[in-house]
Amino acid sequence: MSIRVTEGVMRWALRLCSRRSPWTQRSLLMTASIRNTSFPSQLAHVWGKRQIQPWRARSLVSSVRSYSKGSIRSEDLEEKEIPSSPLADLPAETTSGKIQTHSPFRDKLMRCVSPSDVLDLTCQYAPTVRQISNCLTHMWSIAKRMSEEQWRYEMQLMFEHPAFDRLLQLAMKSVAHMHNEDVAYSLLSMVSLGVPQRSRVVQVFLRTCQEKLNDFDEKSLSILASCLEHMESSPSVSTLKEGMRLVVEARLPRIKKVMALQTMMRMLGRDAPLDLKRKLEQKALTMTDQFSIPNAQYMITTMATMGFYSRPLLDVCSKKITENLNGIPFNRLLSVLHSCKELHYRDLDLLTGLSDYVTSMLDIWTNKQVLLFLSVFESLVFCPTPLMEAYAERVISSPDALTLKDLLCVLKVYSSLNYDLQHRRQQFLDSLSQALDSYLPKMSGPALLKSVFHLCLLGHFPSAPLEQLLQSSTVEQLNSTPSRFLPKQEKMFQTVDLCLRLDRPPLPRPLTVPQSVLGDPAPSSPSANQWILQSLQSVLRDRADTLLEEMVMVENYFIDGVITKPLPNQTCVTEASSREGGELPPAESSQRTAVICAPLSGFCYGTSNPRGPLAVKIRHLKILGYHPVLVRERELRSVPEEKRTEFLKGKIFPEDHRSDTRPETDQLQC
């Protein structure tokens, strides 16, 4: 590790060090070094979002052995990520009454800028019971605002500091005399700072919380809930969570703060009984007039954490977020969208508003940020038209700026959503091909297959990636794929094979997909949709000139019903041909209509635009001479039974719905 410290920074650190203890001196010198230090990229141990090196972890383990029960393994120091919680983020000074005003200790504590400073202060004073809690809370309040590099150094210094062990010993002895709020804050601070959860001090605090739980007020309960949400499962934690569930259920009508309610909801999580989730929902609905913008965001992520879908609550939150998009940071917007995906919730106004907002931020946000939004939009089956158009222009102007990961994401999004750029389409596809060609020498087989598959969905067939994919060496590599990936891989190869045979792209030399990667050529027969079949039979009951074939397989495509009918005005031509003793070929004398009942997932949300595989299916059926008629399954089910036949007639026989004057014209022509 090379450390380059400027002379001015070191001089500043040494001036401060002259008046500080050895531990604070070391902290300041390290802080000065951090500013010009480059760190190795591979760090094995994780502490929340913070990473520490293995040799640092070993020294930290040895420093906490004195107050922990039994041996502690290094993995005990690994703490799950603690997301930013409104309660966890409360600074120590906001807890009214915890720090006495006009106190020398309080004034000096507020001037501490590192955990080591706080520990030095405890060496100068004999902290009271309340001051012990103040120290722990202030240490966490300082530490969480540090950069990643400074965090690693400060945590090492904190655990090696001899006063840290003494402070935890004092906390363990004083816990029985602490106020309930101090107990909750101290436990939260220790767990957040990385004190091992199986250590004796944490276990003593957990048992004390169990004993005092019935006396905890709303604020103390919410602080404790914020802590328990991120703690590993153990008998003490499970017992305390169960006790909190009973207390929350009993006190639910008396909860007054939205944030406290949300924190308890997250702590209860997915394991909460359904009737309790319903009670929490009703309580939240009575408090919607208190919702701030952060409350609305946090409520959506809270429902995702609980695995609980409440349409009324989600609608209220979505409306508030949609009206205030400009004031919400990138990470929170992305978190809201991911939660919507997890809950299978889509609100057209929210998605449209977010799409327009991201488009307006296109010149400010990085490529990675925009692609993260495009990816989650695609997973929600929503086509953000303005964003797709604007981002395509960026790709056309600078295709070389795309990394391989970016490129795969762009191909997946645009092919899945079947977005048509119209007059810019060829430019966009050529730009993607240019970027793809530059990565071909170092692409793995699976990545190459995905790229070609998505390009085929888009109807674009660059020769270089196709030839490399179908080389024997690449095919052999893909044949060694683990069995769990084979079905998806075979499906992609089948699509590539169909596109080569049906689209017949102009390639320098003919290419075929080897049979060894196509899997079973016989597709599984899907179950018949009885609703559509019965309705089709009713539609054709009075039409003697039409023929219905049910459940037809064409290539690898399933069609609910194929209707063969004469072409418009073909009756007169047929009669004239018969008088002349001739006969028209069936392909020229009839029209084949392929009726496809597609699920809602086959279309972009809020539109009738088919996406991905369904769009390719329609394209190929047209090449094979069929006239595809798409019927959305939910749309069909929403039509009353007595009107269902007329609804299908309008889609299959649109000529019957022409104006009254049109048939007379046809007769004159005949």
3-state secondary structure 596-648: EEECHHHECCCCCCECHHHHHHHHHHHHCCEEEEEEEHHHHHHCCHHHHHHHH
Please state the rounded mean pLDDT for residues 550-568.
85
| Tens digit of each residue's pLDDT (9 = 90 or more) over 244-298 | 999 999 989 999 999 999 999 998 888 889 999 999 999 999 999 999 999 999 9
| Tens digit of each residue's pLDDT (9 = 90 or more) over 111-121 | 999 999 999 99
Position 578 in a domain: yes
Q: Do both 414 and 497 map to the same domain?
A: yes
Position 441 in a domain: yes
Q: Do both 272 and 148 map to the same domain?
A: no
At 420, the pLDDT band (50, 70, 90 cuts) reads confident
> What gap in Å lies between CA 138 and CA 141, rounded to an integer?
5
Q: Greater confidence, 104 or 585?
A: 104
Spatial contact of 457 and 495, defined as CB atoms under 8 Å apart: yes
Position 30 in a domain: no
Position 115 in a domain: yes
Position 275 in a domain: yes
Please state the rounded mean pLDDT for residues 58-79.
34
Q: Which of 328, 346, 369 is the last residue of a domain?
A: 328
Q: Do both 498 and 557 map to the same domain?
A: no
Q: Do both 378 and 351 map to the same domain?
A: yes
Closest by CA to 73, choosing from 196, 206, 235, 204, is: 196
Please tell me the number of Cα atoms within 13 Å of 661 on its side-chain side.
0
Question: Is residue 427 over pLDDT 90?
Answer: yes
Q: Do both 296 and 334 map to the same domain?
A: no
What are the structure tokens assigned to 332, written together?
């929170």
Q: Side by side, which strands form the sheet with 626-632?
A: 547-554, 557-566, 590-598, 626-632
| Residue 579 one-letter amino acid | R
Q: Greater confidence, 351 or 668?
A: 351
Q: Which of 229, 263, 278 is the last residue of a domain?
A: 229
Q: Do both 239 and 221 map to the same domain?
A: no
Spatial contact of 215 and 180, defined as CB atoms under 8 Å apart: yes
Could you give the number of structural domains in the chain?
A: 4
> What gap in Å lies between CA 260 and CA 247, rounded to an integer?
13
Give percent of the chain with pLDDT exceeding 90.
51
At 486, the pLDDT band (50, 70, 90 cuts) reads confident
Question: Is residue 8 over pLDDT 50?
Answer: no
Position 25 in a domain: no
Would you state the pLDDT for residue 528?
Answer: 67
> What gap in Å lies between CA 227 and CA 151, rounded to an integer?
20
| Tens digit of each residue's pLDDT (9 = 90 or more) over 529-555 | 777 888 888 888 877 778 888 888 888
Position 22 in a domain: no
Q: Do both 644 and 544 map to the same domain?
A: yes
Question: Is residue 313 over pLDDT 60?
Answer: yes
Would you state the pLDDT for residue 523?
Answer: 58
Q: Print burial letters for 401-434: b (CB count within 10 Å at least 16), e (below 16).
A: ebebebbbbbbbbbbbbbbebeeeeeebbebbbe
Question: Is residue 570 over pLDDT 80?
Answer: no
Q: Greater confidence, 275 or 93?
A: 275
Please state the rounded mean pLDDT for residues 373-402.
94
Q: Among 393-397, 454-458, 568-572, 595-599, which stretch is predicted with the lowest mean pLDDT?
A: 568-572
Please state the rounded mean pLDDT for residues 465-476.
91
Q: Greater confidence, 643 or 337?
A: 337
CATH number of the domain that 378 lies in?
Answer: 1.25.40
What are the structure tokens assigned to 508, written together?
């320098």
Position 77 in a domain: yes
Q: Which of 328, 357, 389 is the last residue of a domain?
A: 328
Q: Do both 353 and 492 map to the same domain?
A: yes
Question: Is residue 55 over pLDDT 70?
Answer: no
Q: Do both 428 and 574 map to the same domain?
A: no
Q: Roughly how many angstroms between the first and final C-alpha of the chain, as a whole number?
A: 90
Q: Print burial letters for 333-352: b (CB count within 10 Å at least 16), e (below 16).
A: bbbbbbbbbebebbbeebbb
Please state the rounded mean pLDDT for residues 466-482.
87
Question: Which backbone phi and psi does 467 adopt, to 5 degrees?
Answer: -65, -40
The SS3 of residue 46 is strand
Full residue range of the structural domain in which residue 575 is found? 530-669
Question: Is residue 417 over pLDDT 70?
Answer: yes
Q: Do both 289 and 383 map to the same domain?
A: no
83 Cα distance to chain centroid: 15
Q: Do both 547 and 485 map to the same domain?
A: no
Average pLDDT across the chain, whole number: 80
Would you state the pLDDT for residue 522?
Answer: 60
Spatial contact of 388 and 378, defined as CB atoms under 8 Å apart: no
Q: Do both 225 and 237 map to the same domain?
A: no
